[in-house]
């Protein structure tokens, strides 16, 4: 299953960032009992809990490229990763045997267009330490969860709300509009949660954020729609 967290917080020490991430990872340890990883390039820090499915002894996370510019934390499985790896082999020196590095290589080389080639389920964060830009994404149907919140000092995201709350370190307030939606429809509207300012990345979407800018969410996939061409009998 796996779980991920990311925190960008200006004014925080590296020790303070790590303390928050460790608490957050502790709250989602059930998602990944096999390994824990933390990578800090202050004021940004990424964390991961791993359930080993592919490349059991390799593919540690967070995973970086050789230059250290890109940092990937990834939850999911790409079913066609071997085929994608073959396509990328001439442009990337693979050091692991799993799908995580294939995702990293594809996003570094092709950008968000690589999601069109991926078949599977995923939630991920990719931090560009050079341009200070974060990319979040979820699979087409939203199988894997990913929540986020913009703060006065930065940005945080996590696979579960309890982990996100640890990163934020503040008491959340109920969103009365979301509560009304839940009572009216029986669920929170897509992209919203029960709490003010706490959002979810939409299925089939990418979300980009940079310090000082509002998050920008865009779809990379939509369910194809077409008119009915059959008959009443067919």
C-alpha distances out from residue 169 to 46, 55, 147, 163, Å: 17, 35, 15, 10
Handedness of CA 148, 151, 155, 161 (dihedral sign): negative
3-state secondary structure of 142: coil
d(C-alpha 44, C-alpha 231), whole Å: 57
Residue-wise over 212-224: b if at least 16 C-beta within 10 A, else e?
A: eeebeeeebeeee
Q: Which H or E run contains 40?
A: strand 35-41
Which residues on neighbouring strands pair with residue 147, listed in sequence order? 158, 200
Strands 120-128 and 147-151: unpaired
Residue 223: both structure tokens together? 């369910």
* Catalytic, out of 2, 40, 157, 196: 2
157 is annotated as an active-site residue: no
Active site residues: 2
């Amino acid at each position: 299953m796996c779980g991920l967290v990311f925190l960008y917080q200006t004014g925080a020490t590296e020790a303070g960032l790590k303390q928050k991430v460790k608490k957050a990872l502790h709250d989602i340890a059930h998602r990944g009992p096999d390994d824990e990883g933390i990578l800090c390039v202050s004021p940004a820090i990424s964390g991961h809990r791993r359930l080993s499915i592919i490349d059991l002894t390799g593919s540690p996370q967070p995973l970086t490229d050789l230059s250290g510019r890109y940092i990937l934390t990834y939850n999911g499985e790409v079913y066609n990763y071997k085929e994608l790896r073959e396509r990328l082999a001439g442009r990337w020196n693979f050091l692991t045997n799993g799908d995580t590095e294939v995702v990293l290589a594809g996003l570094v080389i092709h950008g968000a267009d690589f999601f069109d080639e991926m078949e599977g389920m995923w939630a991920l964060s990719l931090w560009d330490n050079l341009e200070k830009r974060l990319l979040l994404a979820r699979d087409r149907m939203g199988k894997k969860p990913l929540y986020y919140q913009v703060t006065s000092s930065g940005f945080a995201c996590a696979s579960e709300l309890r982990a996100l709350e640890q990163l934020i370190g503040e008491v959340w307030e109920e969103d009365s509009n979301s509560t009304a939606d839940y009572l009216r429809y029986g669920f929170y509207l897509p992209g919203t949660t029960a709490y003010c300012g706490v959002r979810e990345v939409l299925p089939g979407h990418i979300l980009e954020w940079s310090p000082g800018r509002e998050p920008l969410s865009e779809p990379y996939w939509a369910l194809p729609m077409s008119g009915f061409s059959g008959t009443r009998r067919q």
